[in-house]
Amino acid sequence: MARRRTNGTPQTTAQQLGSIIKSARDIMRKDKGLNGDLDRLPMLTWIMFLKFLDDIEQIREQKAQLAGKKFRPTIDAPYRWRDWAAKEDGITGDELKAFINNDEITKENGTKLPGLFAYLRSLQPVDEKNGTDPRTTIATVFKDINNRMLSGYLLRDCLNLVNKIQFTSSDEIHTLGHLYESMLKEMRDAAGDSGEFYTPRPVVRLMVEVINPQLGETVLDPACGTGGFLVEAYNHLEKQCRTVQDRQTLQTASIFGGEAKPLPYLLAQMNLLLHGLESPQINPNNSLNVTLTEIGDRDRVDIILTNPPFGGEEERGIISKFPEDKKTAETALLFMQLIMRKLKRQPKPGRAGVVVPDGTLFGEGVSARVKEELLTKFNLHTVVRLPKGVFSPYTNIQSNLLFFDRTSETKETWFYELPLPEGRKNYTKTAPLQYEEFADCLAWWNNREENEQAWKINFAEIYRDARARATPHWERAIAADARAKELAREYRDLSDEIQTLQKPLLAATQNGAGKKGTANRSAELEKKRGEVQRAELGQREIAKEEQAKGDAIYWVIYNLDIKNPRGKQDFEHLPPEQLADDILRKERRIAEIMTEIKEQLRMQNVELRKEETSAAEEVFLHS
């Protein structure tokens, strides 16, 4: 690319590309159809996307000609960038808008053709079995994309600027990748509270670094958003490429994603393309729309890195695909179940790094059952607890990084609390988390010792102890329930007998003495039935109480909201909701302890009464 001079100083590629992008965005600001970066970046993205495709197509065509092979273009004329956008004095104004927007256009010779977007949406793969055919990707990208610029003249100015970018230059692609990431962050900043949660780049880098993907392994982000984890994983793997075969493996069999929302899907495609992945394999469907029990070995991957959406709710059709005891509308818990199911079992057990909110750590009910599966069937080896404001301004919810694998059940879990920098109370949009702040965590990762920031729990021991203490209660609950069922059957039998006795009385076929005897017998049975019913209800109440006592002992071990034993709780700066949750959790724990104390006192009283009775009997016998 030619380099221009400004005031005698040569412009670098990065400066020139930055200037092109800035100029294009400035032009878009003049258009009344676009409202802020939330509109401008998607608009700029689809324009760059089509220019990128045409540049790559021309290289493919040249290679095919040199090899003497037949070339079939992905996009046909007159829809290629070179046909309608590349000429600086090409179609503009209303004619340009009509060509892009209309379902049908009429050429000068009267021939009718589909408009640009209508054509792109109609593209079909040449090979139906080839899931990576670029035509499928293009059709999916433009399925929900619209041209929102009202001025065809301003749009022409933008096309002319983008046309200066050479996507065939590796240097320019690398620079554009960084520029594009900056624009993605700006768009999320503009979105504010209504935007998608943004995973800060330092968090992404840390997670990829410690998971350490290796070439030949498959990496999946089932909720990839704009592709941050996948881009970082791609960059990590690219450093390991030594041969042509290595690059082929990286390009075709390493990076996979899922993103159901049209805009993030487009942005992820562009993000990965700009970072060097030639045919991103991003599934445009909802990753949760799969029956969990039908996921087999061929569907599993080596590594999952993701920040699944939390706080959202899924529709009933999605929820119905999950196990009965783990059905929930909470998106984060559904993704946790999917992630566990998607990890490889063999030959090398899969591993995962997942961002979760505090609520997942201390959640009960379905949340506790999901964590039970995580801890008893997977190895949750590390929880990194992030400080306040890491995800600001998108959410103030505190988050955590879970790292687990499929090597075994959990024996011990390490916790690492990332401290805020000295003198800081939280992170902000203008003073965000920096990657360098993870230096101590990274140094500790492979040489673990307890310190001011790190501690561990022996989950295997906690689990055994809880089971041992809860099991007697559960066994008493089972016994009481079984006895209640026996009494229920006895109640039905008595009811049947009473009904049989009462038939002759109702029919008036008995004499006086017979009636009296039958009535007396019926009254005895009624009395007995009442006693049986009361006994049954008593047994059911015992079963309920004993089950609750056992559950209170057992399920509390799945509360992973474990604070740093060496840290100080900063109640002053806790959000009101979190402060209320913290108080409720402590109250619940106090209630559990009080229940255990009451049970122990009750048992002591029972034993005391037994001893007193025995002593009284002994005195009576010797008197």
Q: Are residues 491 and 360 in the same domain?
A: no
pLDDT at 8: 44
Cis peptide before 347 (omega within 30 of 0): yes
Separation between Cα atoms, residue 535 and residue 489, nearest integer Å? 12
Q: Are residues 243 and 355 in the same domain?
A: yes
* Residues 507, 513, 519, 524, CA torsion sign: negative
pLDDT at 39: 87
Count Cβ neighbours within 10 Å for each residue of 262-280 and write b for 16 or more, e otherwise: bbbbbbbbbbbbbbbbebb
**In-domain check, residue 607:** yes
pLDDT at 12: 45
Host domain of residue 578 = 569-623
What is the share, in percent, of the chain residues with pLDDT greater than 70? 87
Q: Are residues 192 and 318 in the same domain?
A: yes
**In-domain check, residue 430:** no
The one-letter code for the residue type at 540 is R
Burial of 502 (0-12, 13-18, 19+ CB in 10 A): middle
Q: Which of 548, 565, 582 is the last residue of a domain?
A: 565
Kindly give the parts of the chain with pLDDT less than 70: 1-13, 127-132, 188-198, 393, 504-515, 568-579, 581-582, 603, 605-623
pLDDT at 579: 67
Q: Are residues 210 and 354 in the same domain?
A: yes
Total number of domains constituting the chain:
4
Q: Are residues 529 and 481 in the same domain?
A: yes
CA 231 to chain CA mean position, Å: 18
Q: Are residues 210 and 152 in the same domain?
A: no
pLDDT at 194: 41
Q: Are residues 393 and 255 in the same domain?
A: yes
Q: Are residues 540 and 618 in the same domain?
A: no
For residue 303, the domain's CATH number is: 3.40.50.150
**In-domain check, residue 605:** yes
* Token pair 């999946």: residue: 220
Q: Which of 518, 536, 565 is the last residue of a domain?
A: 565
Q: Are residues 252 and 127 in the same domain?
A: no
pLDDT at 191: 58
**In-domain check, residue 471:** yes
**In-domain check, residue 296:** yes
Separation between Cα atoms, residue 37 and residue 44, nearest integer Å? 10
**In-domain check, residue 352:** yes
Q: Are residues 275 and 299 in the same domain?
A: yes
Separation between Cα atoms, residue 151 and residue 262, nearest integer Å? 24
Residue 167 near residue 361 (C-beta atoms within 8 A): no
For residue 132, the domain's CATH number is: 1.20.1260.30
**In-domain check, residue 177:** yes
* Token pair 């490429």: residue: 241
pTM for the predicted model, two decimal places: 0.80
Q: Are residues 251 and 358 in the same domain?
A: yes
Q: What angle do CA 128, 130, 133 make, to 5 degrees?
A: 100
Distances, alpha carbon 316 to alpha carbons 58, 328, 370, 602, in Å: 47, 9, 19, 46
**In-domain check, residue 448:** no
Q: Which residues contact 379 (CB under 8 A, 6 or more apart)?
A: 404, 405, 406, 407, 408, 409, 410, 411
Q: Which of 565, 583, 613 is the last residue of a domain?
A: 565
Q: Are residues 558 and 578 in the same domain?
A: no
